[in-house]
């Protein structure tokens, strides 16, 4: 390069920067086998946001879990695995959500903000908090595509330190080791967003209309959390209860017809109650024959919905006298589900476009 070339290059205009949108979900093993599940569990359960216990106490417990649980979990993953794409359903759905968001932007979804420019200014990425594709590689991908501003969208309607805050941690930990300092925004939890509640209720009504039975009860099941986390100030329980209240209000159902419960607990500690499996068992034994379960804490179907609810809790229900059981699909990448994501992104990106 000559001196004149260097001078010209030095005075060249800085390329126009893009806006990056990063969709984040929890994650999935790379395969439904012992060792991939073990790697996934180790990463997940080593996160202090997930298990906040002294390492000297937790480490030997974790080693025991990593030998005892992967085999059982691998069998469950195999039952719900997306065999066409050879990946977990959560990964397939999150990719599709990102692709549909990009298509919406290309089709002019943000044009009212800046006609003719939005599609060229925005780049979409997606990542798993645990497993692949990881948040670290996704952030580096955004940098490679010239993004100087990043909107991170954790796909968790309700905030919890173990999910939402863990995603924050990973984004900032990645940036800490990069010579790069983009502007970063995080989309807030949308547990009480009117569009989200409307879409939930509409999706529920549509799914019930397709059933061959009329439900006596609609159980609203959220992922559980150790009670100790709530005692420390985590707002998760309050946000779950508010989603539940607003959904019941839209459906015009009382707590007796539309109860709340919490699933997916493990370990000896007390978790949020009532527990979903115990509730399903009690309802069946009390004579409920027709039960529907909806899981509004999940933006995409995964092991906790497709296996824990649709298979395990269905079995609990029928073994205890129930007859008809249905899981309402998560919003996923459906037209209604994407409306929630479109609305959230359009609102949070305002001022950048």
Annotation: binding site = 223, 304
Annotated binding site for Fe(2+): 223, 304
Q: Quote the crossing angle between the two packed helices 335-348 and 194-209, to the nearest 10°.
A: 180
Sign of CA dihedral 158, 161, 163, 168: positive
SS3 232: coil
SS3 247: helix
Please enumerate, as own/partner, the contacts of 334-341 that have beta carbons within 8 Å and a separation of 24 or more. 334/203, 336/199, 336/202, 336/203, 337/97, 337/199, 337/203, 337/299, 338/97, 338/100, 338/101, 338/104, 339/195, 339/199, 340/190, 340/193, 340/195, 340/196, 340/199, 341/23, 341/97, 341/101, 341/153, 341/155
Q: Give the contacts of 299 (CB within 8 A, at least 6 positions apart).
A: 25, 97, 155, 156, 157, 330, 331, 332, 337
Element (H, E) at 184: strand 183-186
Asked whether 299 and 156 are in contact (CB, 8 A), the reply is yes
Tokens 């390492």 label which residue? 55
Count Cβ atoms below 10 Å from residue 132 Cβ, excluding itself. Answer: 14
DSSP-derived secondary structure letter, 149: E
DSSP-derived secondary structure letter, 146: T
Q: What are phi and psi of 214, to 5 degrees?
A: -105, 120
Round to the nearest angstrom and report the end-to-end CA distance of the chain: 37
SS3 129: strand
Sign of CA dihedral 91, 95, 100, 101: positive
Asked whether 55 and 46 are in contact (CB, 8 A), the reply is no
């Amino acid at each position: 390069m000559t001196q004149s070339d260097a001078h010209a290059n030095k005075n060249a205009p800085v390329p126009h920067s893009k806006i990056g949108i990063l969709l984040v979900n929890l994650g999935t093993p790379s395969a439904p086998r012992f060792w991939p599940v073990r790697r996934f569990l180790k990463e997940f359960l080593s996160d202090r946001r997930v298990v906040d216990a002294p390492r000297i106490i937790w480490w030997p417990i974790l080693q025991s879990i990593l030998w005892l649980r992967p085999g059982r979990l691998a069998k469950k993953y195999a039952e719900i695995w997306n065999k066409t794409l050879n990946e977990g359903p959560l990964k397939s759905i999150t990719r599709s959500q990102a692709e549909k968001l990009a298509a919406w932007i290309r089709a002019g979804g943000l044009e009212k903000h800046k006609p003719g420019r939005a599609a060229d200014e925005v780049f979409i990425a997606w990542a798993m908090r645990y497993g692949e594709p990881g948040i670290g590689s996704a952030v580096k991908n955004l940098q490679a595509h010239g993004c100087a501003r990043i909107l991170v969208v954790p796909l968790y309607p309700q905030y919890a330190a173990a999910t939402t805050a863990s995603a924050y941690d990973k984004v900032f930990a990645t940036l800490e080791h990069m010579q790069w300092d983009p502007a970063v925004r995080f989309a807030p939890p949308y547990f009480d967003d009117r569009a989200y509640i409307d879409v939930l209720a509409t999706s529920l009504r549509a799914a019930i209309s397709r059933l061959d039975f009329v439900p006596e009860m609609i159980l609203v099941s959220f992922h559980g959390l150790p009670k100790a986390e709530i005692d420390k100030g985590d707002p998760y329980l309050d946000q779950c209860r508010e989603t539940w209240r607003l959904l019941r209000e839209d459906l015009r159902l009382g707590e007796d017809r539309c109860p709340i419960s919490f699933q997916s607990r493990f370990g000896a500690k007390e978790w949020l109650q009532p527990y979903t499996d115990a509730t399903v068992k009690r309802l069946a034994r009390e004579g409920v024959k027709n039960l529907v379960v909806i899981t509004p804490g999940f933006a995409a179907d995964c092991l906790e919905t497709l296996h824990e609810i649709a298979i395990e809790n269905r079995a609990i229900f029928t073994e205890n006298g129930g007859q008809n059981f249905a899981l309402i699909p998560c919003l996923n990448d459906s037209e209604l589900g994407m409306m929630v994501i479109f609305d959230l992104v359009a609102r949070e990106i305002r001022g950048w476009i």
